[in-house]
Amino acid sequence: MTTVAFLELSTGDKLQGHLIGAPLNTSGEMVFTTAMVGYSESLTDPSYFGQILVFAYPLIGNYGIPKQPKTSLAQELPEGYESSSIHASGVILTSDTKDISHWTGHHNLDHWLKHHHVPGLVGIDTRHLVTIIRSHGHVFGKITTAQTTNYRQLGSIQLASHTPYFDPNQRLITTEVSTPKRQRLGKGTKRIGVYDYGIKSNILRLLVERECSVIVLPAKTEPSVALSYKPDGIFFSNGPGDPEPCEYAIDAIQEFSKLKIPLFGICLGYQLMALAFGGRTKKMKFGHHGANHPVKELESGKVLITSQNHGFVVEEETLPSVLKVTHRSNFDGSLQGFKHESLPVIGFQGHPEASPGPHDLRALFDEFVGLFGGAK
């Protein structure tokens, strides 16, 4: 049986489709991704917490969902997943692909969404929806369901449900997606303290592959606790929401910078580093979300194709002179990376770990590890 469902936008637009996944109402910030593959990685990315994710590409779900091991992060980092659960509040698709066309496919998308209690809406012209989001910016949405297949009854359904529009940027949500306790990964001789603000698993995979012993730390871990592990470097992860209210993280970064320990931040972690050194951030109109964003490396002049997922940006004109700009977006010229002129500090706005996306910037992980003065 087909369940009619609706997407009601804060712009006043109302779109009709049919439900897949869990038969639940939901609300969140509307964001769209241009990635053609990697939907399981995108939906399990904690940075999408509180957002309704629109897939602009029409063929989503065609290779299924890989089997997910029932293990903790500390035991295994299964590929195809960036965390153990779906963090997006809802999913919007053009079409529903139930037939799986890949040997790794274990579930179809509908089954997987039901399992994680996440609703999805299909039958939507996502090209039109992307145009609305791009035109208005800062759009919020509600997915509401109607338990009927008789379209003639729809005139009596109240689309404006009692579900309010949820804005994840009005709440400090990094602590909600962070690990609740410290965890260890890898057995390498180089030690890295990793602050988890909503970290993607592939970041941890790449650090472990570089012969690092990783200590994953809850978001509000005191610097003294992190330093008790005698780390060679500190990493600040990606995560959802507005960076400016995360004063606990900004204070911690300032403490670490005084010790001249190597620091590396990605996405939210990069924004927090900019704030810690005196820069400012601002909300973007509709953000950068996708796996095909060109970024220019200023020193070499090379254009690198990157994975991006952020709704805030560091304002380049507010950066202190000690932070040297290293990368800019070829889409809109926005700041994408910096390094400190005298301290072992690097930051990048996009996602060099990809997953999904190209691997053009994975050398940043090598650069970070290369800053270590030798394993302890």
β-pair partners for 29: 51, 140
Listed in sequence order, the residues at least 6 apart from 258 whose beta carbon sits closer than 8 Å to its beta carbon are none
The per-residue DSSP string of 19-77 comes to EEE----EEEEEEEE--SS-HHHHHT-GGGTTEEEEE-SS--STT-EE---S--TTT--
Catalytic residue among 267, 289, 327, 340: 267
| Amino acid identity for residue 89 in this structure | S
Does the active-site annotation cover 351? yes
CB neighbours (10 Å) of residue 153? Answer: 11
Q: Count of CB atoms within 10 A of residue 75's CB?
A: 10
Question: Is residue 33 within 8 Å of 56, Cβ to Cβ?
Answer: yes
Q: Which of 293, 327, 340, 351 is labelled catalytic?
A: 351
353 is catalytic: yes
Residue with tokens 């109607």: 146
Q: Which residues contact 99 (CB under 8 A, 6 or more apart)?
A: 62, 108
Q: Would residue 76 show up in a list of annotated catalytic residues for this protein?
A: no
- CA distances from residue 245 to 240, 271, 280, 346, 348 in whole angstroms, order as listed: 12, 12, 12, 22, 20
Type and span of the H or E element at 297 = strand 281-297
Q: Which residues contact 51 (CB under 8 A, 6 or more apart)?
A: 28, 29, 30, 31, 88, 89, 168, 240
Catalytic positions: 267, 351, 353
